[in-house]
Chains A and B, each alone.
Chain A
Amino acid sequence: MIVHLNLPALRETHWYEYLIRFVLGGAMTVITGLIAARFGPIIGGLFLAFPAIFPASVTLIDKHVRQRKENAGLPGVRRGREAAALDAIGATLGSFGLAAFAVVIWLMIELSPAVALVLATAAWLAISMCAWALRR
């Protein structure tokens, strides 16, 4: 299957679901900052890879798939959970990219912060995509 953008899928998400993710993301970033300020960068750094948004995303995917099936008169619970599991597999592969991001930050940020941030994001995307392609 070819990777593609399905923009109409964005309309399935209600405004309050976007708001929940914004607040969760914002709150987790504040909490990460507070942890780093209180316990230092070693403990604070662990929380840079905390799965803050994953629970909300996986719940929304389950809900959307289930609703779609139930609107078509089909039982949707199993399909919803399977779609959520598929998303979790993707996140597992993406976490190797997240580790690559962290390695680049660790090794390069003191040399050139801007270049390190760009390279680290590129490393995240490249390693994640390679892991996904290898799994296929």
Chain B
Amino acid sequence: MFEYLLRFIAGGIAVSAFAALGDALRPKSFAGLFGAAPSIALATLLITLSHKGAPFAAVEGRSMILGAFAFAAYSWSACLLLKKLMVASWLAATAALVVWFAVAFGSWALWFSIP
């Protein structure tokens, strides 16, 4: 239970710090880089290292590569929905999550099906 409380606090602080940096930076396209900051990864890996060790964290890092490319597909899709279709931002950001799941799990299935 304490581990999850620690995760909650660490994740909240990391996400808030990167988000505040993104709010304050200009131009907006540069500030957008902070939308893909490794905030959750940093908070999670710090706690994973102390509880489960470095080999566990290394495997998480390898899978995270696929998650990061899924993130690229996700934010690009959200951008298209916002720019071309003028969809409401909350709807674009939520609908594009389908792309994240499809690319993340699709590439995961491909990667791990290769002998």
A binds B: yes
> Which B residues lie within 8 Å of A12 (CB)?
23
Residues of A within 8 A of B (CB): 1, 3-7, 9-10, 12-13, 18, 21-30, 32-34, 36, 40-59, 61-62, 77-78, 80-99, 101-107, 109-110, 113, 117, 120-121, 124, 128-129, 132, 135
Our pick among A29, A51, A87, A103 for the contact of B28 (Cβ within 8 Å) is A87
Interface centre among A13, A25, A43, A113 (most CB of B within 10 A): A25
Q: Interface of chain B, helix or strand or loop or mixed?
A: helix
B9 within 8 A of A: yes
- CB pair B60–A93 under 8 Å, yes or no, is no
A53–B99 Cα distance when bound, in Å, is 16
A61–B82 Cα distance when bound, in Å, is 12
A21–B18 Cα distance when bound, in Å, is 10
Shortest Cβ distance from residue A109 to the other chain B in the assembled complex, whole angstroms: 5
Our pick among A41, A52, A97, A129 for the contact of B15 (Cβ within 8 Å) is A52
- CB pair A53–B19 under 8 Å, yes or no, is yes
> Which A residues lie within 8 Å of B94 (CB)?
55
Please report the total number of B residues contacting A with Cβ < 8 Å: 84
- CB pair A86–B64 under 8 Å, yes or no, is no
- CB pair A117–B42 under 8 Å, yes or no, is yes
Our pick among A21, A51, A97 for the contact of B16 (Cβ within 8 Å) is A21
Indicate whether A51 sits within 8 Å of B100 (C-beta atoms), given known contacts A24-B15, A28-B40, A30-B8.
yes
A59–B93 Cα distance when bound, in Å, is 8
Indicate whether A91 sits within 8 Å of B33 (C-beta atoms), given known contacts A53-B15, A101-B68, A120-B38.
yes
B72 within 8 A of A: yes
Minimum CB distance partner of B50 in chain A: A113
- CB pair B64–A51 under 8 Å, yes or no, is no
A10–B43 Cα distance when bound, in Å, is 23
Our pick among A87, A101, A120 for the contact of B32 (Cβ within 8 Å) is A87
A72–B59 Cα distance when bound, in Å, is 52
Within 8 A of A (CB), among B21-70: 22-49, 52, 54-70
A109–B38 Cα distance when bound, in Å, is 15
Within 8 A of A (CB), among B80-108: 82-83, 86-90, 92-94, 97, 100, 104-105, 108
